Amino acid sequence: MRVAELLIKCLEQEGVEYIFGVPGEENLDVMDALLGSSIEFVVTHHETSAAFMAGTYGRLTGKPGVCLATLGPGATNLLTGVANANMDLSPLIAITGQAGLERQHKVSHQYYDLVSIYEPVTKWNAQVKSPDIIPEVVRKAVQVATQEKPGAAHIDLPEDVAGMASDAAPLEIVKTTKTAADDEVITEASQLIEKAKQPIILAGNGITRGDASDTLRTFVKNADIPVVHSFMGKGAVSWKDEHSLLTAGLGGNDYITCGFHDSDLIIAIGFDIAEYPPKNWNPEGRTPILHIDTEVAETDENYPVTLNVVGDIHTNIEKLTRLVKPQNRDNKWVEHVRKNALAELEQFETDTSFPVKPQKIIYDLRAVLKEEDIAISDVGAHKMWMARMFHCYQPNTCLISNGLASMGVAVPGAIAAKIAHPEKNIVAVCGDGSFQMTGAELETAKRLNLPIIVLMWRDGGYGLIEWKQLNTFDRSSYIKFGNPDFVKLAESYGFEAMTITDTAELKPTLEKAISLNKPVFIDCPVDYDENRKLTKKLGKILC
């Protein structure tokens, strides 16, 4: 068979169901091989969108999302989404077409050394230079992409190799076992926890990846320790739990951040420092860290690790729960923090000012979505509000690009989320700036008949950058842009579209969007004067 056909058979063997991408000349053989495959190819309008879809699919399923592009500009367009998935630790396999081997030694049309280009943004990548190595390459790509900590792998396939013949066959899948920390380490960790007078847990993305949320909740209740979540750890403990200190991540003091100041032990579980820089919450590096994760902690002067508990997070927390004696701590301060933080949102339940305040948008969105529904936040000022105030019952129900923090992720991500979870309501929360980067994928959603909801916060500029500029210089520069008629644009793609003209319309419009069970676009003007008000408020909070 042709190498391209063997590639597809190997991907089928690995359980791949979807490939997201844009076809090109140098992957003609691969596209042809897909015609008889069980794998569905999802045609996108831009390669970056394809990689965003693959990354989101990987994050939600734990299986590698696969994306494909041709060489040259196709491959470089794909790069941003690959880097995004790799930094957010989402399993992804990128496949690029490439110039034939016979012209790679010289300057050639659209040719760049993609293995070198992709090296910094992947865990592993290789070019296929021989037909019979395809089974090994695919097996390794899947293993590397999915093993802790997950990330991106890249396969570069020259067009002449893709058309060659091979007698090789897909490799059998071998299951891997999970390891746990030694009992001596668990005992030492339990002693640190019991000695601490005011410990606090920092819950990260690894808890979700390790399917350890329920185990963590049992441990938290038993040890009576409050939990603060990173942007990517949201929902590890339900926001309704009395131990939940909600989400931290904004710079400066916050009600939630204040918990770190008084703590004598920070228990970081499944946390990567890319999620929330330690200098923001342990600025002097004085509070010791108990690091519980699948790998030893990254070195950082503000992250002074006393003990590394390395191995499967679920197993290690389960072992700790058995050792740590039930506690009854004085956690009145936790109740106080929760009351203040939740009041910030609740006071906007009946707010009628227009344009709509960020807090009101979030209040109404949380009110209409079920516990298991998914909101995907793009990057911009709205991300900061969603991260801080959209409270979660379950993990992976508020997806935020936080490592690379790449704009344009929400609409493609919502498409992938609906493919992965057709039974859930999926809402893409984006600004008008981020929407226009990947908004053409509305057509993809309509073509696939995916009833996603796009909730756009419109302010006619790059709101987050303006927020930063005003805080730094007390003036803004070059952040405004023009917008089309978004309702007409969305309708032209086949979406049901509507504009919010009165704040009272927002909640019923969201409810209607859910009931329609079809692609819906909501254009919502937002009042970003609240940004600087929040900055001033955070500056006055005393710990």
- What are the tens digits of pLDDT across the range 110-123? 888 999 999 999 99
pLDDT of 418 = 98
Let me know if 402 is exposed, middle or buried by CB neighbors in 10 A (0-12, 13-18, 19+).
buried
What is the pLDDT of the chain when averaged over all its residues?
94
Largest alpha-carbon pair distance within the chain?
72
For 17, phi then psi, to 5°, come to -110, -25
Please write the tens of the pLDDT for every residue from 394-427: 999 999 988 899 999 999 999 999 999 999 999 9
pLDDT of 539 = 61
Give the 3-state secondary structure percentages of the chain, helix then strand then coil, rounded to 5. Answer: 45, 15, 40
Nearest-angstrom CA–CA distance, 430 and 403: 18
Strand order in the sheet with 374-377: 398-400, 374-377, 426-431, 453-458, 520-525, 496-499
Closest CA to 87 of 423, 320, 416, 379: 379
Could you tell me the CATH superfamily of domain 183-335?
TPP-binding domain (3.40.50.1220)
pLDDT of 336 = 86
CB 356 within 8 A of CB 364: no
pLDDT of 259 = 78
Is the pLDDT assigned to residue 490 strictly greater than 70? yes
CB 442 within 8 A of CB 361: no
Q: What is the dihedral of CA 67, 522, 461, 346, to 10 degrees?
A: -110
SS3 of residue 292 by DSSP: strand
DSSP string covering 62-93: SSPEEEEE-STHHHHHHHHHHHHHHHTT--EE
Domains 3-162 and 347-540 share a fold: yes
Nearest-5° angle of CA 3, CA 104, CA 98? Answer: 40
- H helix runs in 357-462, sequence order: 358-368, 381-389, 410-420, 432-438, 442-447
Nearest-angstrom CA–CA distance, 480 and 459: 9
Query: What one-letter code names the amino acid at 473?
Result: F
Nearest-angstrom CA–CA distance, 353 and 366: 19
Q: Is the pTM here over 0.85, yes or no?
A: yes
Is the pLDDT assigned to residue 252 strictly greater than 60? no
DSSP string covering 230-262: -GGGTTSS-TTSTTEEEE--SSS--TTTHHHHT
Q: What is the mean pLDDT of residues 432-453?
A: 98
pLDDT of 102 = 83
Question: Rounded to the nearest 10 degrees, what angle do helices 529-540 and 463-473 cross at?
Answer: 50
Nearest-angstrom CA–CA distance, 311 and 292: 8
pLDDT of 262 = 85
pLDDT of 107 = 81
CATH among 3.40.50.970, 3.60.15.10, 3.40.50.300, 3.30.9.10 for 347-540: 3.40.50.970
Partners of residue 55 on adjacent β-strands: none
Query: What one-letter code names the amino acid at 182?
Result: D
Let me know if 344 is exposed, middle or buried by CB neighbors in 10 A (0-12, 13-18, 19+).
middle
CB 427 within 8 A of CB 386: no
Closest CA to 154 of 98, 106, 107, 103: 98
Determine how β-strand 374-377 pairs with β-strand 426-431.
Answer: parallel
pLDDT of 341 = 86
Please write the tens of the pLDDT for every residue from 44-80: 999 999 999 999 999 999 999 999 999 999 999 999 9
Is the pLDDT assigned to residue 214 strictly greater than 70? yes
User: What are the residues whose beta carbons fall under 8 Å from the beta carbon of 43, sequence distance 6 or more?
Assistant: 21, 22, 23, 444
CB 510 within 8 A of CB 356: no
pLDDT of 68 = 98
Sign of CA dihedral 212, 214, 217, 221: negative
Domain residue ranges of the chain, discontinuous segments joined by +: 3-162, 183-335, 347-540
Of 352 and 174, the structure prediction assigns the larger pLDDT to 352
Residues in the chain, total: 543
Q: 460-487 as b/e, with b when 16 or more CB fall inside 10 Å?
A: ebbbbbbbbbeeeeeebeebeeebeebb
Q: Quick one: fold of 3-162?
A: Rossmann fold (3.40.50)
pLDDT of 253 = 64
CA distances (Å), 420 to each of 62, 379, 541, in order? 11, 22, 41
Nearest-angstrom CA–CA distance, 151 and 294: 14
Residue with tokens 């936080």: 402
